[in-house]
Chains A and B, each alone.
Chain A
C-alpha cells in the first residue's frame, strides 16, 4: 500500500509510489484499489465504510522477465597433468519487461577417480 495526504484545497495530481516486488505474480489479473477520504483511518484499510470520499478499482497485470540463457565453452587450456582452465561464455538475455535476478552458482565437486 502507498498513501499520501491530500491537503484541503488540492485540485490536481498527487503522486503515489509503488515498488513492484520481484516476486510479484505476473501475467495474472491483480486488483488495484484507490481510496480517498477525510476519514484517514478508514482508508488505511482496503475494506469497510468511510464517511466520505470515493473508491476506484482497477485490474492490472504485471509484466515479468523473460530470461533466455545459454552456456558455451570458449576455451580449454591444460595447465598441468591434472588441471585445466576452462572458460565458459554465459549468455543471458532478458527479453521481458520485468527485472529479474540472475545468479551463477559454482558448485564444486570431487571427481571420483
Chain B
C-alpha cells in the first residue's frame, strides 16, 4: 500500500535465486499527493463571537476554526457530501447547498425528549462517531451542557440512526438555533463542535424550539361533567403556542400537557405561576362584574381575549 504524500519512496529488491548477493533494486515513487477534498459547515458566521455567529469559517474572530472533514469514500451523513475550501456561512445554513441531506429535524418542544433520525454510512474499517449539537441557549456556540448527543456508528452501517436529546425547559423558543452534525472515525474530533477532523462529514442546520401553554382546570376524563372540564390534550383541552409579546398577566410558562387539578393550580405550582392576570372579584348571584385582566399584545395584529365561566356547573365552558 502506498502513501500518496509526494515524499515517500518504496523499494522492491529482486534477488538471484541461486546467489542472493546478486540483486537488483527497483525504487518506486514518490507517489504524487492525492488531491484532498474537505467538507465544511455553513452556519452563519459573522466572525465576531456574537450570539448568532457560529464557528464556521477558517480561523475567524476568536471563535476558533470551523469544522472541516476530509472527504473519503464510504463515510458520510446522508447521500451527498460535497467539498469546499472554507466554511460557507449563511443566515439560513444553506450555503453548503445539497450536502445537507442526512438529518431529519422534528418539531422540538421544550421539556420533551426529541428523537432525531440521521442517515449515515460507515464503510470504512473503523467505527465512527456521529455527534449532533443544538445551540439551545442561542449563545452562538455549541458547547454548553446538554447541547450534544452522539452515537457510535459501527463499521458496516448504512442506514438510519436515531439520536435522542432532551430539549431543556429554558431553551430559547421561536428563534433559529444552530444545529451541527459531525461524523468521523476520529471520535475526539467529532465530539468537538469546531476544528478539523481527518475524515467524514459535517452538516449544519437551523431549527426552532416551540413551547406551549396549557390549562389546569380539573379534568377527570374525556368529555364534560360537573368538575370535569376539557383541559388535557386527550380531552382536546386548550393549547396555545407561546410567542413573545402576547400574554395574559406577567408570566406565561410552558407545559407539555394540561396540568389538571381540582383547584386549577397545577399550572401555578409548576416552574412558575403563570396564573397571574386577574384579581378575581367576589362572585355573587345577580352581580354585574367588571373584571380587569392584565394583558400584553405586541404582535402587530389585534388579538382577542375571552373569558368562560361555568355558571351552571356542568363542565361545559360555552359561549
Contact = CB atoms under 8 A, between A and B. Distances in A.
A62 B282 CA distance: 7
Contacts, number: 281
A93 interface: no
B291 A65 contact: no
Contacts of A1: 306-309, 317-319
A34 B246 contact: no
Contacts of B235: 47
A28 B278 contact: no
Interface in A38-55: 38, 40, 43-44, 46-55
Interface in B225-253: 226-227, 229-231, 235-243, 246-249, 252
A16 B305 contact: yes
A61 B278 CA distance: 15
A57 B283 contact: no
A8 to B, nearest CB: 5
Contacts of A55: 213-215, 238-240, 248
B274 interface: yes
A51 B280 CA distance: 27
Contacts of B301: 8, 38
B279 to A, nearest CB: 10
Contacts of A15: 290-293
A58 B236 CA distance: 18
Counting contact residues on chain A (CB < 8 A from B), the size range is 35 or more
Interface stretch (B74-82, B93-101, B261-269): B261-269
B278 A34 contact: yes
Given A55-B240, A63-B283, A32 B309 contact: yes
A3 to B, nearest CB: 4
Nearest to A20: B287
Interface stretch (A82-90, A94-102, A103-111): A94-102
Contacts of A11: 295-298
Interface of B: 213-218, 226-227, 229-231, 235-243, 246-249, 252, 262-264, 267, 274-278, 280, 282-313, 315, 317-319
Interface of A: 1-26, 28-38, 40, 43-44, 46-65, 96-100
